[in-house]
Amino acid sequence: MPERIIYHIDVNSAFLSWTACDLLQKKLIDYDLRSVPSIIGGNQATRHGVVLAKSGPAKRYGISTGEPVVDAKKKCPDLIIYPPDHDLYVRRSHDLMEFLRGFTPDVEQFSIDEAFCDFTGFELLYGEPVAFAEHLREKIKNELGFTVNIGVSDNKLLAKMASDFKKPDWVHTLFPDEIEEKMWPLPVGDLFFVGHSSKAKLKELGIKTIGDLAKCDPDILTAHFKSHGLTLWKYANGHDLEMPTDEHIANKGYGNSMTIKFDVTDPDTAKYYLLSLTESVASRIRADKAMVSVVAVSITDNDFRRYSHQMTLPSPTDITNRIYDAACRLFDEMWDEIPIRQLGVHTSRATNDGYYQYDLFDGAKIDKLRAVDSAVDEIRNRYGFEYIKRARFIEKDE
C-alpha cells in the first residue's frame, strides 16, 4: 500500500449537472438536462456568450466547451440552452466541499468543481482505498444528485491525471507503477501544465506523447522552455510538484480562486469573475469582523504561467466595492491580453481591531457601502445566497 492516498474529485460537467439537479428538485422540468442535447451558456437570442458546460448528447453533436453559443446552435438546432447561475454553483460547490469534509479534514479545493482529499491512514476506518473511492462516488451521486470522477494515487498530480480518464462517473487509479501503461501513451497535450503553445513547441521537437516527453533529455527541454521544461519533464515522469491553488498569504488573510472552463479573452468577462470572487472573499472577511490592508490578484494563463500583483490600500477595509476596485486596478495593470484560465483574489494584513479609518471626503459613501454589505450579508445568512444578487450577475445570465 502506498505511503500516501490522495483522491482528486472532479464534478462531471459541473455547471450543467448542478443546473439539472436544481431544476429537477424544484420540479421546473420533467426531464434531466443531462439526458438531452443541452448546454450552459449565454443567451442565444442576444447572439453572445460561449458554452460553459455541455451534456453528453450535446458532445455527440461536436459541441465543445468554450465555443460560441451561436455556433453550438448551428450544430444542433434543438439545443436546450440555460444561462449560467453563479449563485447556484457557489452553493453546490460549498455543499460538495462540506460533504467531503465529513470524511476527511484534509480537503483542498482546487477550483469551484474540483478538490483534492488526503485519505492517508484511513484504511482502518474506510477499508481498501480504491473500493472506498467507489463507495464515495456512489454516495455523492445518491445524496447530492450529481456524478463525479475520482482519481486515486499517491500524489496530487497523478490523482488529477487519473480523474481525467474515461468520464463520466468513474473511479480511476494512476499509481507510479501504472504510469508507463496508463499515462505515457496519452497525447502530450493531455499532461497537466501543457498549454497550447507548449504543445506546439513540443510537437516541433518530435514529442507527441507523454512518454516521449518523459524519455526526453531534460537539458534539451530546459534549453527550449527554461525552467518550465524541467517542470514538464518531472510531471511526465509522475513527480509531484506543488500545483497552483490558493497561495499561502503572509500574515492572516482571505482568498479565493477559480479555474474557468474556457479561455477568457476580454476584460469584462474577467472582471465579472473577479467580482464574484471578491464577493465571496469580502463576505468571509466581514463574517470574522476583520478588515484587510492588502489586495492581490493572481492570473494563470492558458499556458499555465502564473502572475500576481498586489497593492496596499489607503486604509483597512471590509467593503466589497473597495476590494473589487483594487482588484480591477491590479488586473488592468497586470493583464497582457493572454487568454486566462484561472483568476484569484487574495487579501492579507487582516486586523480585528474594530476601527474603520474614514476618508475626509467620502465618509458618508463608506457608511452607505457598509450598510449595503451588511444588509446583503444578513439576507444571505438568513435565506440563502441566491435570494439576493447583483444586477451585473443578472445581466450576465440574460
Annotated active-site residue in 114, 134, 138, 143: 114
Q: Which of 338, 340, 333 is nearest to 300 (CA)?
A: 340
For residues 311 and 295, the answer to whether their CB atoms sit within 8 Å is yes
For residues 317 and 355, the answer to whether their CB atoms sit within 8 Å is no
Pairing of strands 171-173, 148-153: parallel
Angle between helices 86-101 and 267-287 (to 10 degrees): 50
* Dihedral of the alpha carbons of 138, 107, 130, 12, in degrees to the nearest 10: 50
Cβ neighbours, 10 Å, residue 380:
17
Peptide bond preceding 168 in cis form (omega within 30 of 0): yes
Cell reading at 352 = 480585528
Pairing of strands 107-111, 114-118: antiparallel
Residue 117: beta bridge partners? Answer: 7, 107
Residue 149: beta bridge partners? Answer: 10
**Alpha-carbon separation of residue 111 from 10, 12, 18, 361 (angstroms):** 9, 13, 15, 40
**Sheet strands side by side (includes 38-41):** 51-54, 38-41, 80-82
Task: Check residue 226 and give left, alpha or beta (phi > 0: left; psi -120 to 50: alpha).
Answer: left
Residue 273 CA to residue 285 CA, distance in Å, equals 19
- Exposed, middle or buried, 26 (CB in 10 Å: 0-12/13-18/19+)? exposed
Residue 249 CA to residue 234 CA, distance in Å, equals 26
Cell reading at 287 = 463574517
**Sheet strands side by side (includes 254-264):** 254-264, 340-348, 292-301, 306-317
Residue 317 CA to residue 290 CA, distance in Å, equals 8
114 a catalytic residue: yes
Catalytic amino acids? Answer: 114
